[in-house]
Chains A and B, each alone.
Chain A
Amino acid sequence: MSDNMRNNVRDNMGHMNNQLTQEMRDLARELLASGEVKGLFGWTKGSRWYLTPPVFITKPEEADRLCYDEFAVNNLTGLLLDFRDSQDKIAVFVKGCDSRGIVRLVQDNQLKRENIVVIGVPCPGMGDKGAVTDHRQAQELPLLAKCLECRYPNPVLADRTIGAVTVTTEPSAAPSGATAEAAKGRGVGSKEADRFAQVEAIEKMSPDERYAFWQAQNKKCIRCYACRNICPACNCRECIFDSDKKNWVNKAATPTDNAFFGITRAMHVAGRCVECGECERVCPMDIPIMAMNRKLIGDLNELFGPYDAGVKADEKPPLGAFKLDDPEEFM
């Protein structure tokens, strides 16, 4: 790409983001002013050009705080858990990957579908802020790995939409709406076929190498639980890692206790993980958490038939169901 073209792409992106941000603010203002919703989760511009963190607003005049750009990466759906005991109606913006989190929470009986106004947004693919080299100056960033591997660029459900995005439960559908071209140009979904590459690489190792690989990862984990906290599938009211009395696991962050945490976390979301990739993105220690999740997803598909969690609310997650003639290696 020539510098000129790159500048054009950037300008177009900037223009588009402004437009989407405007649409977002207008809709938020309308929903809050009419009283249709009590509050709304969206994104706002952060303290750096590459930060667009979540924001919760309750008044129409706060709508101008909303912002949308290629750093609005946070999946907001897990935040809705704050309202699981409330009857208030809350609105939330969702990109394609995020939207599956809504299905997850509804299916897990954590939220009532009628209490949420889901607003679908088109996604240009999110920039990898890890690649920032100059903190003062905006620059072209590569996409996050999870966006390159994206299979659901469009929301799977929505009550309202902005940016003319198409709502569809079809995987691998081409990105739609105002950002469709940008998403395609930036490579959203282009590495979809590679999403099991790391799993396969680990499977090729010897058992001792695999153990050493995970031990090295577990040594790094500081058990901050960020991976759990962001996850829409990690929605237990009391997490076993928070219950002191039952002594499930030592509080010390030793590699063994961290292994217990990592394996347990993965099993708890097995069949329910919506592949939003947020756990791995938020991990401050760069632990390849998605390799665990994907291992389980791959095996579930192979053992019990293809299944994408968080797409169709009336399809039971594979570990919550069975067939009389399920495969059996035990005997």
Chain B
Amino acid sequence: MSAVDEKKVNAAGQPDPNWEPNIVGFACNWCTYAGADLAGLSRMQYPPNVKLIRVPCSGRANPQFVLRAFQKGADGVLVAGCHPGDCHYATGNYFTRRRFLLFQRLLEFSGIDPRRFQARWISGAEAPKFRDVVTQMAEEVKALGPNRKLREEL
């Protein structure tokens, strides 16, 4: 067991109650990232578990991003972008919707809990929604515990 994992269990081998999930979020530049920014500007409180990676469009996030995040140690992955109809590039998120709906099912088929991979529509004005989504996902993934599946074993 690597040093990182040891932090997740206490001496008795029980799950560490202080363990915090590591969530990677791919956020569309035009909506979700702006929404997250607004949440920060508005001094909203939300758990710091989500590390956002800015992408030009949720359609830019492809399944490899998600798999790679799990490989590199993510306990959960979020893809978030503009609501359907609001895409900066007109239609990008309609492709996102089909792609990740399918991909979430494929992950489930591969044995990954679908709660570990989620997609959400969060507009630039929806700071409260960003806060709620992040809070909820952090709670859900925390309840699921550390993810070992697909993790790189180097």
Contacts and interface: CB of A to CB of B under 8 A. Distances in A.
Contact of A330 (B101, B105, B106, B113): B101
Interface stretch (A70-78, A143-151, A182-190, A318-326): A318-326
A210 B109 CA distance: 7
Interface string B97-123: 111111111111111110000111100
B52 interface: no
B94 interface: yes
Interface in B47-74: 63-64, 67-68, 71
Interface residues of B, number: 36
A331 B71 CA distance: 26
A330 B97 contact: yes
Identify which of A260, A263, A270 gathers the most chain B CB atoms within 10 Å of its CB: A263
Contacts of B118: 330
Given A295-B105, A330-B119, A260 B98 contact: no
Nearest to A211: B111
A254 to B, nearest CB: 6
A45 B99 CA distance: 43
Contacts of B151: 256
Nearest to A327: B101
Given A267-B63, A330-B118, A213 B111 contact: yes
A211 B110 contact: yes
A287 interface: no
B15 interface: no
Nearest to A250: B152
Interface in A251-304: 254, 256-257, 259-260, 263-264, 266-267, 270, 292, 295-296, 299-300, 303-304
Given A326-B94, A330-B119, A259 B110 contact: yes
Looking at chain B's contact residues, the main secondary structure is helix
Interface string B17-37: 000000000000000000000
B98 A207 contact: no
A155 B150 CA distance: 40
Given A260-B68, A319-B98, A322-B95, A211 B105 contact: no
B88 interface: no
B113 A260 contact: no
A164 interface: no
A88 interface: no
Nearest to B108: A207
Contacts of B95: 319-320, 322
B94 A263 contact: no
A322 B91 contact: yes
A299 B102 contact: yes
Interface string A8-30: 00000000000000000000000
Interface of A: 199, 202-203, 207-214, 240, 248-250, 254, 256-257, 259-260, 263-264, 266-267, 270, 292, 295-296, 299-300, 303-304, 318-320, 322-324, 326-331
29 contacts: A202-B109, A207-B111, A207-B112, A208-B111, A214-B110, A254-B153, A256-B71, A256-B151, A256-B152, A257-B152, A259-B110, A263-B110, A267-B103, A270-B106, A295-B109, A300-B102, A319-B99, A322-B91, A322-B94, A322-B95, A323-B94, A324-B94, A326-B97, A326-B98, A327-B101, A328-B101, A330-B100, A330-B119, A331-B121
